[in-house]
Amino acid sequence: MEAPEVPTEHLHEEMHHQAEHGGNESRWISGVALSSAIIAGFAAIASLMAGVHANEAMIAQMRASDAWNYYQAKGVKAAVLSTKVDLVTAIGKTPEAKDAEKIGSYKKDQGRIKEKASEFEEASHEHLETHEAFARSVTLFQVAIALAAVSVLTKRRRFWYFALLISVAGGYFVTEGMIRSKSQKEPEPLVEETEAGGEKAHGKKGEASEHAAAAGKSAEHGTPAGEEKAGEKPKGE
């Protein structure tokens, strides 16, 4: 998601031109130009923060979608295993104890994954609210700069005062966005429990860490990963 743009270059050029050729009024026009430059700086910062939180909101929503897909996969596995147990019971045989244990494990995993997916959705919602606060401030700053330019062109100071008032409102939304940003906590990544009792990160990062660990073990023994020791014959020959 792109950050809001702050197209104010032509307004600053016009204000500087008026300040240079304004005669006796050049002093207050210079003040208008200086205040507009400061407002533009705040607008640029707010625009950057709005874009950052918009991207974070999308990432959190994607993680929530992945978690819900993982939740459904566990549900499918539990349903298939339950059907197997029902069929075995229907033909008069005793189902294996490990099947019942796996069904319980799948249900437990579903509860944990559902909680994590809800955390990602909540984080996405919070990032969007923070993005909206910064976006509102950018809009108000742009309006303030435009009114400052109008005050210079029409030689009426009341437009400048009104622009300063609007910029104060923009500063309020910037402050709100900063407070939201500092108070927001990012949820921990979803971790998949392995059958061996360990844990690994769900997704490509977990797989990459496993490959890196395997490569490290091979290096400790002096053998590159995927190669056989010199002098040994391949198994099966």
DSSP 230: T
pTM of the model: 0.67
The model's confidence at residue 88, banded by pLDDT at 50, 70 and 90, is: confident
Q: Indicate the DSSP class of residue 187.
A: P
Tokens of 157: 């100071």
Chain segment 161-191, per-residue pLDDT in tens: 999 999 999 999 999 999 999 988 888 888 7
The predicted structure's pLDDT at residue 89: 87
The pLDDT of residue 225 is above 60: no
Distances (CA, A) of 36 to 3, 101, 161, 174: 20, 68, 12, 17
Distance between CA 167 and CA 44 in Å, rounded? 13
Residue 39 has pLDDT above 90, yes or no: yes
Rounded Cα–Cα distance for residues 86 and 182 (Å): 52
pLDDT higher than 60, residue 223: no
In the predicted model, what is the mean pLDDT of the chain? 78
Top pLDDT among 3 and 167 is at 167
The CA distance from 145 to 6, in Å, is 10
How far apart are the C-alpha atoms of 190 and 144, rounded to whole Å?
Answer: 45
Beta bridge partners of 199: 193
Average pLDDT over residues 9-35: 64
